[in-house]
Homo-oligomer: A and B are copies of this chain.
Amino acid sequence: MDALLERLRAGLPAEALITDPDVTASYAHDMASFCDAGTPAVVVLPRSVEEVQHVMRTATALRVPVVPQGARTGLSGAANASDGCIVLSLVKMDRILEISPVDRIAVVEPGVVNATLSRAVGELGLYYPPDPSSWEMCTIGGNIGTASGGLCCVKYGVTAEYVLGLEVVLADGRLLNTGRRTAKGVAGYDLTRLFVGSEGSLGIVVKAVLALRPRPPQQLALAAEFPSAAAACDAVCRIMERGHTPSLLELMDRTTVRAVNAMASMGLPESTEALLLCAFDTPDPAADLAAVGELCKASGATEVVPADDVAESELLLQARRSALPALETVKSATMIDDVCVPRSRLGAMIEGTAAIAEKFGLTIGVCAHAGDGNTHPVVCFDHTDPDESRRARASFDEIMALGLELGGTITGEHGVGVLKKEWLARELGEVGLELQRGIKSAFDPLGLLNPGKLF
């Protein structure tokens, strides 16, 4: 321990090191429930690539595990500390190094907050789409680590699609450049993409070249009420089958709608069984919304309310963004799942989730990035009640099993971390897991980077 600190101090300014246990404890975990976290030996907050290299060289020399962290808004425990580890927080490396409207790229350090980047590029008429719910807090480095999604994905895809190149400090402190600044490039295996979603287990991202898009028109939304979740899912299928490209297509079930109303008096329709929100950022969003409104009615919508203007649309969006916080107020604790199924199976997934809730006598609210088939069942339970906690955990597992059964994945955008590592093996199978471990060994032969996560 003393040797570790001494060696770290040799290459870092005093203010980059935190050793006070009360403070380091606050860096022990992210926002996931039910994930163990250890006690870090030290928290390091580097400000330069060289400082990160120094940390990794030290870790390798002394065989100390390293847990990289952004804003710790993750929902899978991927940023949780392990005992005696170095927590490597990248939040102080927060410079936007370059924004190029001609090349449509931004070059950033990992600690830049998602919303900060979004606003900065917006001022130049550009758009960085990935918008996880935590976008006002989460960092680009964290987004890359977990391959974050958001509301925009149905049209614009996830973080992975916006990472062109990376600068990475490897476990042994060496510097690796991957990818490119160009629109295209196929020189060798795609290491860039390998790092995206790797949860800090392959290296420390210290710089990223991100692709930008031209800023689209502001989106206009509608809300549609349905007498059943099945009817809402039928509408989702019709909308996508007819070739529409909404910029947002979200579903909230009754439990979620009521929770949002209770928390924020949003005035959403309490009696609805499922509320669908759909938005377009096309040249003529009103026309697109009108067409979608007809499809919703054909699927049995009892009411279709298009927003009159951008302000009204934003209010609807706000309601959706409040869904998770609102569900968190239903009981003392929540477990947020993140199962993604082919969108044609969305109805079956939501129905099956309701059956699981009933079987276990639990409240499970579902909000979903419906256009992507990505559901977030939120299991609400009393964590002081051991039996209810046990049932919550059991229902969580059954939801993942259902997702796999329906041809889906255990995680659409939140990642594996600690929370789902037993499930990763089930999804990947033995051969897949063996190859994933082979890759891990090639990058981190000593197993120092974020040990105990993913596998």
Contacts and interface: CB of A to CB of B under 8 A. Distances in A.
Interface of A: 100-105, 125-126, 146-147, 149, 153-154, 158, 160-161, 170, 174-178, 180-191, 193-194, 196-198, 202, 213-215, 237, 240-241, 243-245, 282-284, 340-344, 369, 371-374, 407-416, 420, 424, 427-429, 431-432, 435-436, 438-443, 454
Contact of A435 (B191, B374, B409): B191
A435 B176 contact: yes
A154 B454 CA distance: 35
Given A161-B161, A174-B431, A191-B436, 15 more contacts: A102-B343, A103-B342, A158-B186, A183-B371, A183-B412, A184-B373, A187-B411, A188-B416, A188-B432, A188-B454, A189-B198, A189-B439, A214-B245, A435-B442, A439-B442
A186 B187 CA distance: 24
A194 B186 contact: no
A187 B410 contact: yes
A397 B194 CA distance: 30
A118 to B, nearest CB: 16
Given A176-B431, A243-B215, A245-B214, A185 B409 contact: yes
Chain A to chain B: the 4 pairs with minimum beta-carbon distance, closest first: A438-B442, A214-B243, A185-B409, A183-B372
A102 B408 CA distance: 15
A194 B187 contact: no
Contact of A100 (B184, B243, B344): B344
> How many copies altogether?
2
A220 to B, nearest CB: 15
A188 B428 contact: yes
A230 to B, nearest CB: 15
5 contacts: A153-B183, A158-B186, A181-B342, A189-B439, A193-B193
Given A104-B240, A186-B415, A432 B191 contact: yes
A19 B202 CA distance: 45
Contacts of A435: 176, 191, 442-443
Contacts of A181: 342, 407-408
Contacts of A104: 240
Contacts of A439: 189, 438-439, 442
Nearest to A341: B182
Contacts of A196: 190
A343 B103 contact: yes
Contact of A283 (B177, B197, B283, B441): B283
Contacts of A283: 282-284
A215 B241 CA distance: 11
B189 A197 contact: yes
A405 to B, nearest CB: 13
Contact of A182 (B183, B340, B438, B442): B340
Contact of A188 (B170, B241, B436): B436
A52 B279 CA distance: 46
Contacts of A340: 180, 182-185
A343 B441 contact: no
Contact of A184 (B188, B243, B412): B412
A75 to B, nearest CB: 12
Contacts of A175: 431
B413 A184 contact: yes
A181 to B, nearest CB: 5
A68 to B, nearest CB: 16
A105 B345 CA distance: 14
A372 B241 contact: no
A178 to B, nearest CB: 7
A80 B147 CA distance: 36
Contact of A374 (B183, B189, B215, B429): B183
